[in-house]
Structure formats: structure tokens, C-alpha cells
Amino acid sequence: MSHSTLPQTEVPRTDPVSGAAPQAPGPRTAARATGAADPLAIWPASVVPLSQDDLALGGVPLTELADRFGTPTYVLDEDEVRNRCRAYLRAFPDADVYYAAKAFLCRAMAHWVAEEGLGLDVCSAGELELAVTTGFPPERIVLHGNAKSPADLRAALRLGVGRIVIDSTSEIARLAAAVPAGTRQKVLIRVVPGIAAGGHAKIRTGTEDQKFGLSIADGSAQHAITRVLSQPRLELVGLHCHLGSQITTVKPYLSAVRRLVGLLARIREQHGITLPELDLGGGHGVAYRPGEAALDLTGLATKIRAELAGGCAAAGLPVPRLAVEPGRAIAGPAGVVLYRVLSVKRTGSHTFVAVDGGMSDNPRPALYGVRYAPRLVGRRSATATEPVTVVGRHCEAGDVLASDVHLPGDIRPGDLLAVPVAGAYHLSMASGYNLVGRPPVVAVTAGHARLLVRRESLADIQERDIGL
């Protein structure tokens, strides 16, 4: 569907991931120079301000998207996704880049990622089947999971995934027994390097005493390596680690490289083999609000390569092939969610703005206390802003989407709110709470909008309930 011509007011943006400076000066450049937080810096690069405080994304006005598809609606900027994939391939030219499907997956997303040359990191038979039936090459897929079911492993072997990441010693025998005779499955061992990193305690996975991986410190990783090497149907090709999520500094990754290179050296000494692969996982942080820190991709890639080369040289090891697994850093900033205001309630000193979505389509604020920057779109207000709490429609006091955000004082029912950086861990973590139904996903590019995932209807929900 084509849309009316938009005014040519787009301002040059930074590289979507690396943060490189734009090629021409503009208002946002001035904002950075003065230290001011650019309110549109966290939006996709295609965003264009329109009249009446509307915004166009991928050449399509947000108000038009809300009118056409209803609310809540998730909007993905296809070009932003593709550009972020390309930025990773530029930063890691001699590495494998796997998109972490758990951030958000649909058939179109799998197709875009495959076309851009990335692999895919999946965590279940469901994610795996969707990707392969979309046409994603199974040899470019890695299967993760701390508790893979028999169905997960059977699907991985049947479809021919390239790598399976072993997360526990009990998984070794189960997987080896399932591998068809006369074949070998390539595997990596997920190790715990004992490094605390991540934006919240619940998303730190590189430390001891949590459910993921096998510890270097207590010898579990070394024991698992010995076990795998004794299985003729398993081919150990490397080590894997994942430190956590929403990491915004490079230092934890460099610490992980040092510890993993040390383990690679011990493996060679004890077993006489040199493992050719090293997967450092993902967890690359993004900015959810203007002025927040994000991980510098270019700096990350440069420093990791230098640390890996130096460490391997010191240990007398060849440099293994590197892999990284970005999810949020590709999908998150490419997504925007649209909500309609249902009510405004002033209670004491607090103002609550309730919208037609909530924790059923975005549980992250309730789980991790993440903060967003909602924006009023489609109506110009001359009223000064005031702090409000944007809440959802669900029967939970913790159903809060954005606390202490500034919106015009005349915010009212019917207004349209847009929340940027909504492409990751929203719909992928959505629930059926209150039987509201999950929102649709719409893609925009070059002035066109198309439905990728339809809205979950009441009929969909009722059809699953078959018993009396």
C-alpha cells in the first residue's frame, strides 16, 4: 500500500549500531555536541517528524498505522533490522554472527536475517521449526537451552542444525544416544566464566550459582569436555559462553576472552586437541531512553579481536573462529509499539495514564524494572509536560509500562502514544493474561506497510479451549 509523499525533513543519523558520526551536520549533531539528549536518537534511522507532532517510520505516518491496524500494534522498521545486521557483519568480518531468535522471531524476521547473511540462535523446537520451514538453512542454526527437551533434540537432529550447545552433563549421553549411527553432531560446551555483567540481576548468566552452563571454577566444564570427547557421535568444535543481557561496557567480554583462552590452553594440554571455535554469546546493550549508554559495537569488535589474538599468541594457540549472538541489539531499536490512551486518573500527587496494552505484551518493566520513553504522537499540545506513570490495562498493580515520564499535561483518552526500542523481548515474552490477545506485528519500509503477524483474536483464544 502506497502512502502520501512525506516532507523531506529527515536528519542524518549515526550508524544504527556503531554510533559513527553522520556524513552531514544537522540538529541532532548539535544536540550531541552540546551534550543534550536527542529525543529521536533512540528511534530507527528512518524516523521523520511530520506536522501535528506525528512521526513517519519507514515512510509511513504512525497515526496512519494506528488507524489502519488498530492498537496496540508493534511496528518493525525492516531497513533498520537489515542495517543493524550489516553493521555486525562489518564489525566482525571474519566471524559468525547469529541472530538470537528469542529476542523476537517471525517468518519475515527469519527471512531478513538469512538474506543479510547471519546465522540463527534458537532455544526450542518451536523456534527451530519456524525458521527452517521459512527456508532458513539449518546448518546456519545453533540450538541453545539449559533444559532441552527430547523433542528439542530430536528436531535439531532431524533438521540438521549446525551446532548444539551442551549446557549440562546429563545432556551429553541423551544427545549422543539420539544421534543416528554413522553420523556426528557438532557441539559446543557452554561454560560459566564467573563474570558478573548485565543490566539486572535476573539477566546475568555468566556468574556462578545460576542455571546456565558449566563452571570453570568447580571443574564442571572440564568434566563435561572429557565426557563429550569420549562420545564418538559427538564432535566437540568449541566453547560457548553468554555473560548476560543489556551489557553496555566492553570490559566483561575481554575478561571472558581471557578465561576462555586459558581453558582452551588447558584442553590442549590435557587432551592434545585444539578447539577451532569460540562463541562469546550476545547481551549487547541498547539505549531505551535518550542519553542512556549503549554498547559500542566497533569498540567491542576491535578490542575482542585484539584480546583474542594476544591471548592465543601468548598461549601458543591458533586464533579460533569467533562467533557472536546479538538479539536485542538488532531487533530492539528497530521496533516501535503504538498504544491508545484509555483513561487518565489523577490520584493525590500521581497521574496514571492507562493504555490499551500492558504487561501481557511487554512484561519487561514488571520483570526487570526497565524504563521507556513514550511519546505523544498525532496531536500538537501547547501544555507543559508533567511527570506521569503510563500503566497497562491488566489487573495487577505492577502492570506499569513507564514510570515518571514527562507527557503533556492535557493528555487525554484517545491520544496515541508511541514507545520506541520495542522490538525485542516484548511479543516474544507476551502472555495470555486476562485473555486480552497479543498485538499484531507490522513491517514498514519505503512508504509501505504490511502485516507480518496478525492480531490474536478472541476466536483464536476460544478455539484452544476444547473441554467442559
Q: Which domain holds residue 370?
A: 27-77+333-461
Same domain for 207 and 324: yes
Closest by CA position to 99, among listed 79, 77, 75, 123 = 123
Is the sign of the CA dihedral 150, 152, 155, 159 positive or negative? Answer: negative
Cα 331 from chain centroid?
A: 5
More confident residue, 22 or 262: 262
Q: Residue 270: is its pLDDT beyond 60?
A: yes
Identify the three-state secondary structure at position 387. Answer: strand
Residue 326 and residue 248 share a domain: yes
Indicate whether 381 and 289 sit together in one domain: no
| Mean pLDDT, rounded, for 392-405 | 93
Query: Is residue 109 domain-shared with residue 249, that is, in the same domain?
Result: yes
**How confident is residue 208, by pLDDT bands cut at 50, 70 and 90?**
low
Compute φ and ψ for 155, nearest 5 degrees. -65, -40
Q: Is residue 18 part of a domain?
A: no
Last residue of some domain: 332, 348, 380?
332
Say if 468 falls within a structural domain. Answer: no
17 lies in some domain: no
Stretch 190-216: mean pLDDT, rounded?
Answer: 63
Q: Are 187 and 175 in contact (CB under 8 A)?
A: yes
Residue 191, beta-bridge partner list: 214
Q: Binding site for substrate: residue ranges?
A: 328, 364, 368, 396, 425
Q: Give the C-alpha distances (Å, rounded to integers) separating 11 from 40, 45, 84.
A: 10, 9, 18
Indicate the SS3 state at residue 168. Answer: coil
Residues that are catalytic: 395
The reply to whether 325 and 439 lie within a common domain is: no
- How far is it, in rounded angstroms, from Cα 163 to Cα 182? 17
- 1 exposed, middle or buried (CB, 10 Å; 0-12, 13-18, 19+)? exposed
Q: Give residue-wise pLDDT tens across range 84-121.
A: 999 999 999 999 999 999 999 999 999 999 999 999 99
Domain boundary (332, 362, 397) is at: 332
142 with 165: CB under 8 angstroms?
yes
Tell me, yes or no, whether 174 and 279 share the same domain.
yes
User: Could you tell me which of 424, 429, 353, 349 has the C-alpha nearest to residue 392?
Assistant: 353
Q: What is the pLDDT of residue 195?
A: 76
Please give the grid coordinates belonging to residue 256: 571472558
Residue 71 lies in a domain: yes
Report the CATH number that the domain containing residue 214 is assigned in CATH.
3.20.20.10
Q: Helix 150-159 and helix 169-178: axis angle, to 10°? A: 50
- Other Cβ atoms closer than 10 A to 294: 19
Between CA 236 and CA 272 the distance in angstroms is 13
Q: How many domains does the chain have?
A: 2
Domain end residue (candidates: 309, 332, 355): 332
User: Is it true that the peptide bond before 72 is cis, omega within 30 degrees of 0?
Assistant: yes
Sheet holding 60-61, edge to edge: 48-49, 55-57, 60-61
Residue 154 located in a structural domain: yes
- Please indicate, yes or no, whether residues 294 and 404 belong to a single structural domain of this protein: no
- Averaged pLDDT for residues 218-240: 95
Task: For the chain, give the percent of residues with pLDDT over 70.
Answer: 89
Q: Annotated binding residues, as ranges? A: 283, 325-328, 364, 368, 396, 425
Query: What's the pLDDT tens digit per position in 410-441?
Result: 999 999 999 999 999 999 999 999 999 999 99
Residues 121/109, Cβ–Cβ less than 8 Å: no
CB-neighbour burial class of residue 391 (10 A; exposed 0-12, middle 13-18, buried 19+): buried
pLDDT value, residue 212:
66
Same domain, 318 and 384: no
Count the helices and strands in the chain (H runs, E runs): 13, 21
pLDDT for residue 216? 87
Confidence class for position 211, pLDDT limits 50, 70, 90: low
Q: What is the CATH number of the domain that holds 43?
A: 2.40.37.10
CA 229 from centre of chain: 33
pLDDT on residue 356: 97
Residues 149 and 265 in one domain: yes
Does residue 97 sit in helix, strand or coil? strand
> What is the rounded CA–CA span in Å between residue 143 and residue 398?
34
* Domain-embedded: residue 447: yes
Residue 383 phi, psi (nearest 5): -80, 140
- The answer to whether the CB of 409 falls within 8 A of the CB of 384 is yes
Angle between helices 169-178 and 220-229 (to 10 degrees): 20
170 assigned to some structural domain: yes
Name the binding residues for pyridoxal 5'-phosphate.
Answer: 283, 325-328, 425
Q: Is 112 helix (H, G, I), strand (E, B) or coil?
A: helix
Residues 206 and 288 in one domain: yes
- Residue 307 and residue 224 in one domain: yes
**Residue 318 shares a structural domain with residue 355:** no
Lowest-confidence region among 12-16, 234-238, 301-305: 12-16
DSSP secondary structure string for all residues of 209-276 = SSSSSEESTTSHHHHHHHHHHT-TTEEEEEEE---BSSB--SHHHHHHHHHHHHHHHHHHHHHS----
Would 412 be classed as within a structural domain? yes
